[in-house]
Amino acid sequence: MSCGKNFGTWKTAGRVIPWETPDAPNNIIHVRLATGSVVEQMNSHPFAKLHTALTHNGETTNFEALKQRVEQFNLAPLASTDTEVAALKFHLIADEWAYPDWAVFESLSPTTGDDLALVEPEMRPRLENVQRVEFASSPDGPYQYLCLRHDPYQKVTERLDIKDPADLRPNVTAFWLDNSGERKRAFSFIASEEQAISRMLRLMDREGLIDGAAADVITNSTGMISRYHYDDTGEIYDVEFIDRYGRQIELPATGRHYSVRRNKPAPVDGRYGDWEKDYRNFFIREMATLSFETLHGLLHELVAGIADQERFEEVLALLTWLRDYARTMDPGDKAGGSINDMADYYIAKVLSGVAGGGYASYAAYGFGGEFFPEPAGAEGETLVIDAGGFLPEGTDPRLTLSAALNHAHTLGWRRFILFNVRGQRLISTAVMGAADTDDVEMDVYGNAGEYFGAFMQGGTIRLHGNAQNFCAMAMHHGNLFVYGHAGKVCGYGSKGGKVFIMGDVVDRVWTNSVNDSRTQPLEVFILGSATKYAGESLMGGDFFFGGMHFNSRGELCLNERPYLGTKMLGGASRGRFLFFDPQNRLREVQYAHGRQAEISDADWAFYEPRLREMFKNSRIELYNKDQAEYLNVSGKMVPFSRESFKLIVPRGGLKGYESH
């Protein structure tokens, strides 16, 4: 369907993908389940106009209001789907009226309620002026628009990520960046779940488009532009990333990348001796100066030298520690993502060796296996499951990971290691029988899918990677450790349990949760920040948000704020949120539905040992000076005392629902 000289769209109804497309600066290939219209070619995505195109996940529930708006300007939809109406509005404001970037976002995803108070004061009147004109025809409902704009006059081509202001649609944003060569290379990704990005990275590494199959930055975006500049020959020469308010997104400077799969390990001389005997101090001391080639050689020799079960366990512990804590060390000129990728590669290699036998306390199982091994009865036996190939969900234990866990538990297995995990859902003790699972222990390597640790009835689970949406949902009791980020709606409806997350979480975390006195207390410790709607209708529990992260140099730094959005504790009646806020950046508008409480001696006696444990789990050191303790944050020594923290508790009542 021709859209002029610089733009073209190919549509098909169904799963036929037109791979043989003409050379073009942009291609959109998208398969979507139609939810509100007839499945036919005219209704299929994308919808393109002069220099814009739009594809859509979700629903635009008020598309009639959008339709009336665009019809005022002689833009009549040809299809019978809400997506084309949204595409017409995008074309109207971006093509015909040439709104500035921030006004395009504000027209399609208005900044609502208390969130306006977090915007720079000089920006607020401009946003409010756009809302006066466009709010009535702004989309409503859960939606994520992926928009393409190709401007031949400015010589830019760009992807705009626009989502509903209530953050109802899930998304994960990732970047792969390399400035180490003569030419800058940058890739921007967005997907509903992280495993889609991970799959793309593995394919790109295999084809040599990038080096290493891990992203440098993984985050959640409320809206952004990935803009690529090209010259008169069509060659792209620069890229910039812009947030929804028109501000440059400053991404960390990454070093050189490395593909552990496409490079052979270099031989290592004997100058490092028995480095692995004190590997923690070795990595902390040497990581900045080690080359990728040397690190590759060291790990290769280490793994190749495994001869017995004792050595297997030692090497796995070393690689696990490296995977969890590489981000806390200065990588030198190496990209941190490639270090993680190398650790993941060798962890999978080590665990794959269990299938060959030879380790008395370990047995292996993989996708499609006809027979589950049964435990021999020895104490501490572990079942190692290669999750590669297992479906995301289902009921057949030969095909679905959660069903395989259930069957293994029925046979008597209580200790598990899962690797090559790629988006499988409901990895939890909840699938194991109908009683408490306090004797279950599980280590998980990879990208867990949704509902990780959900509905837990006890036991301990450790994830050496990122979790997705609904992590720890409806958790009854148990211990859950996530050495990475987690997604939306974590902990919904929880009753109890201990949760540690060494990264950020997104919106609506621990909604409708309660500290049930009949089970383990609900205690949640998050090193990073949450975005918005945290603790809605909360009825108990103790929570800590550190508002911190490790930068690309391995330095502990403060996030923009200890809590990034607004509307925390809406409708909450009990529970406590403790924030690390030494610079007093938590604003009252963010906790309008709560109040700041004094941290009493009893409160500090409760939190202090738990904070120490969280810092230890995050490899954060406390420094002693003048009979006091300090954290080194953003290059400054911050006292580890109650004065550096803020305690927020609910006001009570139903305050918080009127501004949704």
pLDDT digits (tens, 9 = 90+) for 30-68: 666 666 677 777 777 888 888 898 988 888 888 889 999
- Asked whether residue 588 is domain-assigned, the answer is yes
- Residue 505 corresponds to which tokens in the numbers above? 């979480």
Cα→Cα distances 436→252, 407, 476, Å: 45, 16, 10
- Both 174 and 58 in one domain: the answer is no
- Residue 13 corresponds to which tokens in the numbers above? 């109804």
Dihedral angle computed from the Cα positions of residues 322, 325, 331 and 335, in that order, rounded to the nearest 10 degrees = 80
- Both 426 and 528 in one domain: the answer is yes
State how far the Cα of 550 lies from the Cα of 503, in Å rounded to an integer. 9
Number of domains in the chain: 4
Beta bridge partners of 464: 445
pLDDT, position 658: 45
Q: Which long-range contacts (CB under 8 A, 24 or more apart) does 182-188 make?
A: 184/238, 184/239, 185/210, 186/239, 188/159, 188/226, 188/239, 188/241
State how far the Cα of 650 lies from the Cα of 406, in Å rounded to an integer. 39
Find, among 410, 427, 515, 425, the residue nearest to 463 by Cα: 427
- Both 143 and 92 in one domain: the answer is yes
- Asked whether residue 318 is domain-assigned, the answer is yes
Last residue of a domain, one of 308, 334, 351: 351
- Asked whether residue 519 is domain-assigned, the answer is yes
Burial of residue 132 (number of CB atoms within 10 Å: 0-12, 13-18, 19+): exposed
Q: Which residues contact 579 (CB under 8 A, 6 or more apart)?
A: 544, 545, 547, 562, 563, 586, 645, 646, 647, 648
- Residue 401 corresponds to which tokens in the numbers above? 């990971």
Ranges of residues in the chain whose predicted pLDDT is under 50: 655-660
Last residue of a domain, one of 160, 183, 216: 160
- Both 338 and 235 in one domain: the answer is no
Q: For the residues of 544-561, what is the DSSP string, one character each? A: EE--EEE-TTS-EEE-S-
- Both 156 and 176 in one domain: the answer is no
Q: How far from the centroid of its chain's Cα atoms is residue 536's Cα?
A: 21
- Asked whether residue 359 is domain-assigned, the answer is no
- Both 424 and 276 in one domain: the answer is no
The number of residues making up the chain comes to: 660
Phi then psi for residue 335, to 5 deg, are -75, 130
State how far the Cα of 28 lies from the Cα of 44, in Å rounded to an integer. 12
- Both 147 and 175 in one domain: the answer is no
- Asked whether residue 660 is domain-assigned, the answer is no
156, containing H or E segment: strand 156-163
Q: How far from the centroid of its chain's Cα atoms is residue 48's Cα?
A: 30
Alpha helical stretches, state H, 291-415: 292-304, 309-325, 336-352, 401-411
Q: How far from the centroid of its chain's Cα atoms is residue 313's Cα?
A: 29
- Both 124 and 193 in one domain: the answer is no
| Amino acid at position 512, single letter | N
- Both 507 and 596 in one domain: the answer is yes
Q: What's the domain range around 303?
A: 270-351
- Both 212 and 148 in one domain: the answer is no
Query: How many other C-beta atoms lie within 10 A of the C-beta of residue 310?
Result: 10
- Asked whether residue 26 is domain-assigned, the answer is yes
Dihedral angle computed from the Cα positions of residues 475, 480, 483 and 489, in that order, rounded to the nearest 10 degrees = 10
State how far the Cα of 147 lies from the Cα of 102, in Å rounded to an integer. 14
Cα→Cα distances 401→14, 159, 255, 396, 451, Å: 29, 35, 37, 9, 13
422, containing H or E segment: strand 415-422
Query: How many other C-beta atoms lie within 10 A of the C-beta of residue 608?
Result: 13
Mapped to the 3 state alphabet, what secondary structure does 227-267 carry? EEEECCCCCEEEEEEEECCCCECCCCCCCECCCCCCCCCCC
- Both 110 and 19 in one domain: the answer is yes
- Asked whether residue 358 is domain-assigned, the answer is no
CA angle at 203 for the pair 197 and 205, rounded to the nearest 5°: 100
Structure letter (DSSP) for residue 92: I
- Residue 617 corresponds to which tokens in the numbers above? 């789990």
Query: How many other C-beta atoms lie within 10 A of the C-beta of residue 8?
Result: 16
- Both 31 and 146 in one domain: the answer is yes
- Asked whether residue 191 is domain-assigned, the answer is yes
Last residue of a domain, one of 226, 257, 288: 257
Q: What is the CATH number of the domain that holds 600?
A: 2.160.20.60
